A and B are shown apart, each in its own frame.
Chain A
Amino acid sequence: MREAREVFFVDGIRTPFGKAGPKGQYWRTRADDLAVKAVRELLRRNPEIPVERIGDVAFAATAQVGDQGLTLGRDVALLAGLPETVPGFAVDRMCAGALTAVTAAAGELALGAVDVALAGGVEHMGHHPMGDEVDFNPRYLSERLIDESAAVMGQTAENLHDRFPAITKERADAFAVRSQQRAAAAWQDGVMRETVVPLTVFTDDGWKLAERDEFLRPDTTMEGLAALKPAFRAGGRVTAGNSAGLTDGATAAFLAAEGTVEELGLQPKLRLVAFAYAGVPPHLMGLGPVPATQQVLAQAGLTLDDVDLFELNEPFAVQVLTWCDELGVAADDPRLNPYGGAIACGHPLAATGVRLISQLAYGLRERGGRYGLTALCVGMGMGGAVLWENVG
């Protein structure tokens, strides 16, 4: 049997995240230009990687049209000034796009197809509202293949509240307040300086420097959140305050294979231990990370207690709480999202995966932990999880 090579996460970076829509900082910035900025900063920070050694560029977007439509990996590679000899491709697994770009590239690295890979994601939800270009097959409804609420992510979050009555709106709001507080603290220390690159952007009011996430609300309180109206259902529990807003942003990461790391003298941060994707009922898509987490732990022969840090996406507070309850992790566990999450920084769908990995690498190094987990739920009923080992 042929032997697989170890795969390492070398470095990751993201743009500040912006509010989708005409008032957001990226309204007049192209999606692929955001991705190019992340890639160029990554190249600048990793001069020991010769650009011609990049074997493939995997770039994710959920809406693969318009400024995200031109086979992103190749589009971004050319626009970023990589040599014409560097190929690229586009990836879509909705919210797990960047995560899937990373694991797809990892497959190429493990099998020896490439030695170095670039992986990342971008989503300009202002230019590409969710589901805008999607034509749902009528069979879904006529044959009742899925519950119709499965198409609207906020409704799937309400479904989780229904399914797990113990997760109340108060618990969701408390989680959201903590996310905002942790994110506010994180912007004061080094993690954001290390993982976020500012950029100038053209706006209706001239050029501006985009240097912060636009969703940050450090002064969020329980009282404030209690006053918000439910966004998806009359009498519902999911509000703008306990879910991630519609976001524009891009991420990019360098991955390298064992051997190449030594050859180029790279200082990787993480070793990829295992990854898994799992399917769940589409109208309960938020459950996806539960089986995905269980599968990676089983693959690695580890238990949850062996894991020192969890970077989970937070599209909805209730979604993270179901994972906590199912796996037995306290919602305020310091190992869980120590720098806050998407509720505070935003969730540009296919870009988020690399943000989680970059922050996990920083967190494990800062805390001296060994194993870390990144996981996301995915629309249409999926979950993805990657288990990492700190080598930084």
Chain B
Amino acid sequence: MAETVFTLNAAGRIALVTIDNGEDYRKPTTLGRSAFASAVEVLDALEHGDWEAAVFTGKPFVFCVGADIDEFGKVEDPREGIQAGHELFSRIRALPFPTVAAVNGAALGGGLELALHCGARTLASNVRHLGFPEVALSIIPGWGGTQLLPKLAGPEAAAKVIVLNPLRQNRLLQAVDAFELGIVDRLFDPVEFLDESLQFARDLASNSVSPAREEPDWSDVETVLRKARSRVDDAVHGATRAPYVALDLIAGAQHWTLEEGYAAEEDAMAELLVSDQAQASAYAFTVVERRSKKPPALPDAKPRRIQKVGIVGAGLMATQIATLFVKRLEVPVVLRDLEQSRVDEALQTIRKEASEKKPFLATLADGGTGWEQFPGCDLVLEAVFEELDVKREVFAAVREVAPDAILATNTSSLSVEAMGADVGLHFFNPVALMPLVEIVRHRGTSAEALATAWDVVKRLRKRGVIVGDAPGFVVNRVLTRVSRVLMEAIENGNTTEETDEAMLGLGMPMAPSVLLTMVGPRVALHVLETMHAAYPDRFPLSPALEAIANGEEPVATGDNRRSVEEIRRAVLEAAADEIGHMLDEGVVGSPADIDACLILGAGYPFFLGGLTKHLEQAGLAEYGKIPA
């Protein structure tokens, strides 16, 4: 990638500074070492020239997305990079004439911090990516972000943008939100955005306008931060320090000078940047954003064009999957179930949800109890009862009526090959929210079927990971092994509160007992039985789970009660062991694929690096250099 360069052009006596890496919007501009060098040259020219104002802006569609995450791992002295940013940005802040950040596109992290160091900010009304993702990576916005944002917009806005949004799937601000929070001074239409920003700078220079901001409200700072802390606890349970440190820095901004704030940021980053959590997060980011978008296992074949989809089954998963197909592919989708009433109920739900997007989509869903509508389907996906023989019958019947269709199964643990499907497409509940689809291939999966599955998943706007046809695939296999350890604890007298605490303390987003209720104890039991059949030693049947599945209280049969820490340790050891087996069997090509599955399909946190990074850090496994 080309290096990021700051260029300076004169628009009359207004200095027009562009931040550009010479690529199009698909490769957003970042700030690395070379960018700093060129920025310093521009600052020299700004400080020594006869300017009446300066406008900083980005290449089309991108302002600047902050520090280059690839330089993360190479940090030798964390303080050095932070100081360099403070030094550069404070020079922008000290310029003796009005400065305007014309935020024309995505502004993240260090990019937004640069904008905050300007005297005023304009924002294009179509910008949808503005924020501080640092805390999601277990660091903080350390180039003045934790100080200038609260000083500008108050502690509540700062806590939301710096801490809470990153913990909500890295939610970013849209232009209107940023304006309403008081982060920018003017919203302009994109069509003449820079022309109008230039005029705004001219007006500031001639004193004909002023930003005229409201003073930030610090009156309720204690309550604001207490509430924020409690929401952080709910999200990470103390397992990563960054969000807590960020809140402390926001609190400090009330009384610190900016220089004192800079110093506090430096101390914080010196601790955080080298932490296990930050290193694991940088790894997880790479896995999720890069590797899993272009997997090495993807064949070169041309995907088939899907113009009609059949869904066998009309239950909860089938209904959700059918809705997704109608909404994203916008092609006819036919359902088949044994009872017309179930089909009708499913169709009603699908049509209602699809028509909320576009009214005509409701007309695309149809179904019945027979196979009459299935001829002509390019893809048929089954989501019926998890019973191998049932599924075999389904696929035999489908082959008759739609001999050319690619046959896919949503099974969560059974053998795709044994049931006669071409490929597995394993969705996660709730389908609308969970990004992952495990794409299961077996020996007989053709290159075309696999390429089509990948393409369909992409067009459904889901994230696919290609996995082998082994019981439980990836997510259910790891989760079931972990859950088996928790059940064993309960069978030995531990409480659900203790097993929940063991997992939450790792930073899991959801207590395992809540997860079990969501998945359904019967389903979980069924998966365990499948796993047990394949690997009886590592997946013994669980009387506790059986009891819960039957609606009864589990009874302790052993007396090997453990501490929460011991349970946690046992969970991680079991996971490390199971992942080792999966890699030996070749279920996936790399530990990175397992991490992608756990992050995207089970919500495992970035700061555990999915899981393998944490297992390595805890000394429980050694994976060598993981290709990411």
Interface residues of A (CB under 8 A from B): 36-37, 40, 79-81, 199-200, 202, 204-209, 211
CB within 8 A of A206: which of B18, B192, B195, B198?
Answer: B18
| Set of chain B residues within 8 Å of A80, measured between Cβ atoms | 191
Please name the residue on chain A nearest to B19 by beta carbon.
A206
Contact A207 B191 (CB under 8 A): no
| Set of chain A residues within 8 Å of B198, measured between Cβ atoms | 200, 209
Contacts known (A200-B198, A202-B59, A202-B60); A208 close to B9, Cβ less than 8 A: yes
A337 CA / B77 CA spacing, docked (Å): 67
Contact B59 A200 (CB under 8 A): no
**Residue of B9, B10, B12, B57 with highest tally of chain A CB at under 10 A:** B9
Please, what's the 1-or-0 string for B496-532, where 1 marks a CB less than 8 Å from any CB in chain A? 0000000000000000000000000000000000000
Quote the shortest CB–CB distance from B508 to chain A (angstroms).
46
- Which residues of chain B from 16 to 55 have any CB-CB distance to chain A below 8 Å in the complex? 16-18, 20, 22
Interface CB pairs A-B, < 8 A, 10: A40-B191, A80-B191, A199-B192, A200-B11, A200-B194, A202-B60, A206-B8, A208-B9, A208-B16, A209-B12
| Set of chain B residues within 8 Å of A211, measured between Cβ atoms | 11
| Set of chain A residues within 8 Å of B22, measured between Cβ atoms | 204
Question: Given known contacts A40-B192, A206-B20, A211-B11, what 20 new A-B pairs fall within 8 Å (CB)?
Answer: A40-B191, A81-B189, A81-B191, A199-B195, A200-B11, A200-B16, A200-B198, A202-B59, A202-B60, A204-B22, A205-B9, A206-B7, A206-B8, A206-B9, A207-B9, A207-B16, A207-B18, A208-B11, A209-B9, A209-B11
At the interface, is chain A mostly helix, strand, loop or mixed?
A: mixed
Please name the residue on chain B nearest to A33 by beta carbon.
B191
Please name the residue on chain B nearest to A44 by beta carbon.
B192
A35 CA / B7 CA spacing, docked (Å): 27
Quote the shortest CB–CB distance from A44 to chain B (angstroms).
9
| Set of chain B residues within 8 Å of A205, measured between Cβ atoms | 7, 9
| Set of chain A residues within 8 Å of B16, measured between Cβ atoms | 200, 206-209
| Set of chain B residues within 8 Å of A37, measured between Cβ atoms | 192, 195
- Which residues of chain B from 188 to 220 have any CB-CB distance to chain A below 8 Å in the complex? 189, 191-192, 194-195, 198
- Which 9 A-B pairs rank lowest in CB-CB distance, beginning with the nearest? A206-B18, A206-B7, A209-B11, A200-B194, A208-B9, A207-B18, A207-B16, A205-B7, A200-B195
Contact A36 B191 (CB under 8 A): yes
Please name the residue on chain B nearest to A202 by beta carbon.
B60
Quote the shortest CB–CB distance from B521 to chain A (angstroms).
55
A206 CA / B198 CA spacing, docked (Å): 15
Please name the residue on chain A nearest to B102 by beta carbon.
A207
Please name the residue on chain B nearest to A206 by beta carbon.
B18
Interface residues of B (CB under 8 A from A): 7-12, 16-18, 20, 22, 57, 59-60, 189, 191-192, 194-195, 198
| Set of chain A residues within 8 Å of B195, measured between Cβ atoms | 37, 199-200
A11 CA / B377 CA spacing, docked (Å): 60
| Set of chain A residues within 8 Å of B59, measured between Cβ atoms | 202
**Residue of B11, B16, B17, B192 with highest tally of chain A CB at under 10 A:** B192
Quote the shortest CB–CB distance from A57 to chain B (angstroms).
16
Contact B12 A207 (CB under 8 A): no
| Set of chain B residues within 8 Å of A209, measured between Cβ atoms | 9-12, 16, 198
A204 CA / B57 CA spacing, docked (Å): 14
A205 CA / B19 CA spacing, docked (Å): 10
Quote the shortest CB–CB distance from B617 to chain A (angstroms).
43
Contact B17 A206 (CB under 8 A): yes
Quote the shortest CB–CB distance from B19 to chain A (angstroms).
8
A209 CA / B195 CA spacing, docked (Å): 9
| Set of chain B residues within 8 Å of A199, measured between Cβ atoms | 192, 195
| Set of chain B residues within 8 Å of A208, measured between Cβ atoms | 9, 11, 16
Quote the shortest CB–CB distance from B161 to chain A (angstroms).
27
Please name the residue on chain A nearest to B7 by beta carbon.
A206
| Set of chain A residues within 8 Å of B57, measured between Cβ atoms | 207
Please name the residue on chain B nearest to A37 by beta carbon.
B192
**Residue of A206, A209, A211 with highest tally of chain B CB at under 10 A:** A206
| Set of chain A residues within 8 Å of B20, measured between Cβ atoms | 206
A184 CA / B18 CA spacing, docked (Å): 31
Please name the residue on chain A nearest to B22 by beta carbon.
A204
Please name the residue on chain A nearest to B17 by beta carbon.
A206
Quote the shortest CB–CB distance from B24 to chain A (angstroms).
11
Quote the shortest CB–CB distance from A7 to chain B (angstroms).
29
A207 CA / B22 CA spacing, docked (Å): 12
A202 CA / B194 CA spacing, docked (Å): 10
A209 CA / B197 CA spacing, docked (Å): 12
| Set of chain A residues within 8 Å of B11, measured between Cβ atoms | 200, 208-209, 211
A79 CA / B189 CA spacing, docked (Å): 12
Quote the shortest CB–CB distance from B343 to chain A (angstroms).
41
Contacts known (A200-B11, A200-B16, A202-B59); A207 close to B189, Cβ less than 8 A: no
Please name the residue on chain B nearest to A207 by beta carbon.
B18
A204 CA / B7 CA spacing, docked (Å): 10
Quote the shortest CB–CB distance from A27 to chain B (angstroms).
14
| Set of chain B residues within 8 Å of A204, measured between Cβ atoms | 22
| Set of chain A residues within 8 Å of B10, measured between Cβ atoms | 209
A36 CA / B198 CA spacing, docked (Å): 18
| Set of chain B residues within 8 Å of A206, measured between Cβ atoms | 7-9, 16-18, 20
| Set of chain B residues within 8 Å of A202, measured between Cβ atoms | 18, 59-60
A206 CA / B15 CA spacing, docked (Å): 12
Quote the shortest CB–CB distance from A79 to chain B (angstroms).
7
A36 CA / B9 CA spacing, docked (Å): 24
Quote the shortest CB–CB distance from B8 to chain A (angstroms).
8
Please name the residue on chain A nearest to B16 by beta carbon.
A207
Quote the shortest CB–CB distance from A76 to chain B (angstroms).
11
A204 CA / B60 CA spacing, docked (Å): 12
A199 CA / B7 CA spacing, docked (Å): 18
Quote the shortest CB–CB distance from A42 to chain B (angstroms).
13
Please name the residue on chain B nearest to A205 by beta carbon.
B7
Quote the shortest CB–CB distance from B205 to chain A (angstroms).
15
| Set of chain B residues within 8 Å of A207, measured between Cβ atoms | 9, 16, 18, 57, 194
A211 CA / B16 CA spacing, docked (Å): 14
Quote the shortest CB–CB distance from B545 to chain A (angstroms).
60
Quote the shortest CB–CB distance from A16 to chain B (angstroms).
13
A207 CA / B194 CA spacing, docked (Å): 9
A207 CA / B189 CA spacing, docked (Å): 18
| Set of chain A residues within 8 Å of B8, measured between Cβ atoms | 206
Quote the shortest CB–CB distance from A342 to chain B (angstroms).
26
Quote the shortest CB–CB distance from B59 to chain A (angstroms).
7
A80 CA / B192 CA spacing, docked (Å): 10
| Set of chain A residues within 8 Å of B17, measured between Cβ atoms | 206
A204 CA / B191 CA spacing, docked (Å): 20
A80 CA / B17 CA spacing, docked (Å): 26
A209 CA / B18 CA spacing, docked (Å): 12
Quote the shortest CB–CB distance from A25 to chain B (angstroms).
11
A143 CA / B16 CA spacing, docked (Å): 58
